[in-house]
Chain A
Amino acid sequence: GAGVSQSPSNKVTEKGKDVELRCDPISGHTALYWYRQSLGQGLEFLIYFQGNSAPDKSGLPSDRFSAERTGGSVSTLTIQRTQQEDSAVYLCASSLGTRGATDTQYFGPGTRLTVL
Protein backbone atom coordinates (compact mmCIF):
# COMPACT_ATOMS: atom_id res chain seq x y z
CA GLY A 1 0.00 0.00 0.00
CA ALA A 2 0.94 3.65 -0.20
CA GLY A 3 3.27 5.03 2.40
CA VAL A 4 3.27 8.42 4.07
CA SER A 5 3.34 11.22 1.53
CA GLN A 6 4.39 14.80 2.04
CA SER A 7 4.20 17.89 -0.10
CA PRO A 8 5.92 19.90 -1.29
CA SER A 9 9.21 18.03 -1.35
CA ASN A 10 11.09 21.32 -1.38
CA LYS A 11 10.03 24.78 -0.36
CA VAL A 12 12.05 27.95 -0.61
CA THR A 13 10.57 31.03 0.99
CA GLU A 14 11.58 34.48 2.08
CA LYS A 15 11.99 35.42 5.70
CA GLY A 16 8.71 36.65 7.14
CA LYS A 17 6.44 34.67 4.82
CA ASP A 18 4.06 31.95 5.99
CA VAL A 19 4.39 28.37 4.75
CA GLU A 20 2.16 25.31 4.84
CA LEU A 21 3.47 21.77 4.73
CA ARG A 22 1.18 18.86 4.08
CA CYS A 23 1.23 15.25 5.25
CA ASP A 24 -0.92 12.36 4.10
CA PRO A 25 -0.56 9.39 6.48
CA ILE A 26 -0.87 5.72 5.72
CA SER A 27 -4.50 4.74 5.36
CA GLY A 28 -5.86 3.35 8.62
CA HIS A 29 -3.20 4.94 10.80
CA THR A 30 -4.79 7.02 13.54
CA ALA A 31 -1.60 8.51 14.96
CA LEU A 32 0.35 11.21 13.15
CA TYR A 33 3.60 12.92 14.13
CA TRP A 34 5.63 15.85 12.91
CA TYR A 35 9.38 16.01 13.47
CA ARG A 36 12.03 18.46 12.37
CA GLN A 37 15.51 17.46 11.29
CA SER A 38 18.18 20.11 11.23
CA LEU A 39 21.97 20.00 11.28
CA GLY A 40 22.43 21.41 14.70
CA GLN A 41 19.47 19.82 16.47
CA GLY A 42 19.08 16.34 15.05
CA LEU A 43 15.56 14.93 14.97
CA GLU A 44 13.15 16.91 17.12
CA PHE A 45 9.58 16.04 17.92
CA LEU A 46 7.08 18.79 17.14
CA ILE A 47 3.50 17.57 17.52
CA TYR A 48 1.42 14.40 17.84
CA PHE A 49 -2.17 13.70 16.82
CA GLN A 50 -4.12 10.64 17.94
CA GLY A 51 -7.63 10.19 16.65
CA ASN A 52 -9.98 12.84 18.00
CA SER A 53 -7.90 13.56 21.10
CA ALA A 54 -6.34 16.94 21.74
CA PRO A 55 -2.94 17.04 20.06
CA ASP A 56 0.30 16.95 22.04
CA LYS A 57 1.92 20.24 21.05
CA SER A 58 4.74 20.03 23.58
CA GLY A 59 7.46 20.02 20.93
CA LEU A 60 6.42 23.10 18.98
CA PRO A 61 9.30 25.58 19.30
CA SER A 62 7.24 28.79 19.23
CA ASP A 63 3.74 30.11 18.68
CA ARG A 64 4.64 30.71 15.05
CA PHE A 65 4.21 26.97 14.56
CA SER A 66 0.80 25.33 14.42
CA ALA A 67 -0.69 22.19 12.97
CA GLU A 68 -4.05 20.74 12.32
CA ARG A 69 -5.41 17.43 11.21
CA THR A 70 -8.65 17.40 9.30
CA GLY A 71 -10.98 14.43 9.35
CA GLY A 72 -8.45 12.34 11.23
CA SER A 73 -6.32 12.02 8.12
CA VAL A 74 -4.37 14.75 6.32
CA SER A 75 -2.34 17.13 8.44
CA THR A 76 -0.99 20.59 7.71
CA LEU A 77 1.93 22.16 9.55
CA THR A 78 1.93 25.94 9.30
CA ILE A 79 4.87 28.18 10.09
CA GLN A 80 4.06 31.85 10.28
CA ARG A 81 6.54 34.66 9.76
CA THR A 82 9.32 32.22 8.90
CA GLN A 83 12.83 32.80 10.20
CA GLN A 84 16.12 31.52 8.85
CA GLU A 85 16.45 29.15 11.81
CA ASP A 86 13.28 27.41 10.61
CA SER A 87 15.26 26.00 7.68
CA ALA A 88 15.21 22.23 8.11
CA VAL A 89 13.66 19.05 6.82
CA TYR A 90 10.18 18.53 8.22
CA LEU A 91 9.28 14.88 8.56
CA CYS A 92 5.85 13.42 9.05
CA ALA A 93 5.22 9.93 10.42
CA SER A 94 2.17 7.84 11.09
CA SER A 95 1.44 4.74 13.12
CA LEU A 96 -1.48 2.48 13.92
CA GLY A 97 -2.04 4.36 17.13
CA THR A 98 -2.95 1.33 19.20
CA ARG A 99 -0.02 1.66 21.59
CA GLY A 100 0.88 5.32 21.53
CA ALA A 101 4.49 6.15 20.88
CA THR A 102 5.52 2.52 21.23
CA ASP A 103 3.96 1.67 17.88
CA THR A 104 6.24 1.64 14.89
CA GLN A 105 6.25 4.99 13.17
CA TYR A 106 6.54 5.08 9.38
CA PHE A 107 8.04 8.20 7.93
CA GLY A 108 7.38 10.20 4.81
CA PRO A 109 10.09 11.57 2.52
CA GLY A 110 10.08 14.96 4.21
CA THR A 111 9.78 18.57 3.09
CA ARG A 112 13.00 20.50 2.85
CA LEU A 113 12.31 24.08 3.89
CA THR A 114 14.78 26.82 3.08
CA VAL A 115 14.18 30.30 4.44
CA LEU A 116 16.22 32.96 2.67
Chain B
Amino acid sequence: AQKVTQAQTEISVVEKEDVTLDCVYETRDTTYYLFWYKQPPSGELVFLIRRNSFDEQNEISGRYSWNFQKSTSSFNFTITASQVVDSAVYFCALSEAGTGANNLFFGTGTRLTVIP
Protein backbone atom coordinates (compact mmCIF):
# COMPACT_ATOMS: atom_id res chain seq x y z
CA ALA B 1 0.00 0.00 0.00
CA GLN B 2 1.20 3.46 -0.82
CA LYS B 3 2.19 5.27 2.33
CA VAL B 4 2.10 8.72 0.74
CA THR B 5 -0.42 9.73 -1.89
CA GLN B 6 -0.20 12.84 -3.99
CA ALA B 7 -3.29 12.59 -6.12
CA GLN B 8 -2.51 15.64 -8.23
CA THR B 9 -0.09 14.60 -10.93
CA GLU B 10 0.13 17.98 -12.62
CA ILE B 11 -1.18 21.44 -11.81
CA SER B 12 -0.95 24.60 -13.90
CA VAL B 13 -1.68 28.03 -12.51
CA VAL B 14 -1.23 31.55 -13.74
CA GLU B 15 1.34 33.65 -11.96
CA LYS B 16 0.09 35.29 -8.75
CA GLU B 17 -2.58 32.67 -8.19
CA ASP B 18 -2.57 30.66 -5.00
CA VAL B 19 -2.16 26.90 -5.31
CA THR B 20 -2.49 24.02 -2.86
CA LEU B 21 -0.69 20.73 -3.28
CA ASP B 22 -2.35 17.81 -1.52
CA CYS B 23 -0.62 15.07 0.44
CA VAL B 24 -2.32 12.20 2.22
CA TYR B 25 -0.31 9.71 4.23
CA GLU B 26 -0.87 6.36 5.85
CA THR B 27 0.98 5.00 8.87
CA ARG B 28 0.31 2.96 11.99
CA ASP B 29 3.20 4.55 13.78
CA THR B 30 2.32 7.11 16.45
CA THR B 31 5.57 9.00 15.97
CA TYR B 32 6.35 10.01 12.44
CA TYR B 33 7.67 12.91 10.43
CA LEU B 34 6.41 14.52 7.27
CA PHE B 35 8.47 16.38 4.72
CA TRP B 36 8.09 18.41 1.58
CA TYR B 37 10.81 18.64 -1.03
CA LYS B 38 11.00 20.69 -4.21
CA GLN B 39 12.67 19.35 -7.35
CA PRO B 40 13.26 22.16 -9.87
CA PRO B 41 14.25 21.41 -13.47
CA SER B 42 17.89 21.21 -12.37
CA GLY B 43 16.97 17.94 -10.67
CA GLU B 44 18.22 18.44 -7.13
CA LEU B 45 15.75 17.74 -4.32
CA VAL B 46 15.52 20.80 -2.11
CA PHE B 47 14.27 20.42 1.45
CA LEU B 48 11.35 22.69 2.35
CA ILE B 49 9.89 21.55 5.66
CA ARG B 50 9.93 18.81 8.30
CA ARG B 51 7.05 18.36 10.72
CA ASN B 52 6.61 15.78 13.49
CA SER B 53 3.37 14.02 14.27
CA PHE B 54 2.93 15.76 17.60
CA ASP B 55 3.00 19.25 16.20
CA GLU B 56 -0.19 20.09 14.37
CA GLN B 57 0.39 23.81 14.24
CA ASN B 58 0.26 25.21 10.79
CA GLU B 59 3.43 26.78 9.54
CA ILE B 60 4.06 29.75 7.32
CA SER B 61 7.33 30.65 5.67
CA GLY B 62 7.07 33.59 3.34
CA ARG B 63 4.72 32.62 0.53
CA TYR B 64 4.69 28.98 1.65
CA SER B 65 2.34 27.52 4.23
CA TRP B 66 1.60 24.02 5.41
CA ASN B 67 -1.60 22.62 6.87
CA PHE B 68 -1.18 19.44 8.93
CA GLN B 69 -4.36 17.64 9.93
CA LYS B 70 -3.98 14.31 11.71
CA SER B 71 -7.73 13.73 11.60
CA THR B 72 -7.59 13.43 7.83
CA SER B 73 -3.95 12.25 7.59
CA SER B 74 -3.12 15.16 5.38
CA PHE B 75 -0.20 17.54 5.10
CA ASN B 76 -1.07 20.03 2.41
CA PHE B 77 1.20 22.70 1.01
CA THR B 78 0.00 26.09 -0.22
CA ILE B 79 1.95 28.58 -2.28
CA THR B 80 0.51 32.06 -2.16
CA ALA B 81 0.94 34.45 -5.07
CA SER B 82 2.77 31.87 -7.15
CA GLN B 83 5.79 32.84 -9.23
CA VAL B 84 7.40 31.28 -12.28
CA VAL B 85 10.33 30.17 -10.10
CA ASP B 86 7.90 27.96 -8.18
CA SER B 87 7.61 25.71 -11.23
CA ALA B 88 8.94 22.34 -10.11
CA VAL B 89 7.94 18.88 -9.00
CA TYR B 90 6.99 18.81 -5.33
CA PHE B 91 7.30 15.66 -3.25
CA CYS B 92 5.69 14.86 0.04
CA ALA B 93 7.47 12.22 2.16
CA LEU B 94 7.00 10.29 5.39
CA SER B 95 9.42 8.74 7.83
CA GLU B 96 8.41 6.50 10.70
CA ALA B 97 10.20 6.53 14.03
CA GLY B 98 8.95 3.25 15.41
CA THR B 99 8.87 0.73 12.59
CA GLY B 100 12.58 0.38 12.03
CA ALA B 101 12.36 1.62 8.47
CA ASN B 102 15.40 3.69 7.71
CA ASN B 103 14.16 5.51 4.65
CA LEU B 104 11.80 8.19 3.52
CA PHE B 105 8.63 7.06 1.79
CA PHE B 106 7.93 9.45 -1.05
CA GLY B 107 4.74 10.28 -2.87
CA THR B 108 4.77 10.26 -6.64
CA GLY B 109 5.11 14.03 -6.81
CA THR B 110 3.03 16.88 -8.19
CA ARG B 111 4.38 18.83 -11.14
CA LEU B 112 3.52 22.49 -10.75
CA THR B 113 3.73 24.80 -13.72
CA VAL B 114 3.34 28.51 -13.13
CA ILE B 115 2.46 30.33 -16.32
CA PRO B 116 3.66 33.93 -16.62
Contacts and interface: CB of A to CB of B under 8 A. Distances in A.
A109 B96 CA distance: 25
Interface residues of A, number: 25
B77 interface: no
B96 A101 contact: yes
A37 B95 CA distance: 18
Contacts of A110: 43-44
A59 interface: yes
A105 interface: yes
B64 interface: no
B84 interface: no
A108 B33 CA distance: 21
12 contacts: A33-B103, A45-B103, A56-B102, A56-B103, A59-B103, A89-B43, A99-B97, A101-B95, A101-B102, A104-B35, A105-B47, A106-B47
Interface of A: 33, 35, 42-43, 45, 48, 50, 56, 58-59, 89, 91, 93, 99-102, 104-110, 112
